[in-house]
Amino acid sequence: MVKFFVLKHEKFSHLREVETFPNTINPHKQESLYLIKSMIDQVMAAHVGIRWFHIGSDEVYYLGEGGESKDLILQQQFSMESMYMSHVKAVATQVLANNPGVKPIIWDDYLRNIDEDKLKESMLGKLVEPMIWNYNSVLDVPNIRMYFSFASLSCQTNRKSVKCFPVLLFFQAQKCSARVQKCCLLLYAIYCFSRLVDNCNNYCRGK
């Protein structure tokens, strides 16, 4: 459900959610899942021993816009949220099927507007770990606290995430500047227990 370059190819264009846009896959076709499984297998073969697998699941701009999706929503078989969660679970299950020691990761942005009870009911937290998506130049303790009150990540939303997901991942992309000695990507695995925000100072500083 990310921007699939593969959907730009004519051979796979029939798997688009919307015919004219190659950035969202049709989640209802079994062939879509076969294609994704093939891609997962290729990545796993090239990265033996990995512990996490990022399946994206963000920027699904045209999810629900395809004919099949509209029909299912009209028939009340799916809502946009349940359609999204169903597909994420299917992809995560494909990752875990032959790689039980690998944990699927997804971007958190689409989860923010999903009702907490629906998230719990989906059991999505047993399959994936969400990674916080937010462009902030500094990821330190004050800014980690900010994620629990930031306008685009409301306090309620993050409490929801903590309740529904035992682990949150924080991602930061830093560019070269006077304050940064090296260009790097920092991946923070932060175990979000109830007292995380008050007690993560030493953890985040690596002490």
Query: Residue 142: what are its φ and ψ, rounded to 5°?
Result: -60, -40
Q: Is 56 left (phi over 0), alpha (psi -120 to 50) or beta?
A: left
Hey, is 18 helix, strand or coil?
A: strand
Query: Residue 178: what are its φ and ψ, rounded to 5°?
Result: -65, -25
- Residue from 10, 17, 19, 59 carrying the catalytic annotation: 59
Closest CA to 63 of 123, 132, 114: 114
Q: Which two tokens stand for residue 79?
A: 């809502």
CB-based contacts of 52, cutoff 8 Å, min separation 6 = 102, 103, 104, 105, 129
Token pair 């689409």 is found at: 110
Q: Does 59 participate in catalysis according to the annotation?
A: yes
Helix-, strand-, coil-residue percentages of the chain, each rounded to 5:
45, 20, 35
Separation in Å, CA 17 to CA 3, 4, 73, 102, 124? 11, 11, 14, 28, 23
Active site (catalytic) residues: 59
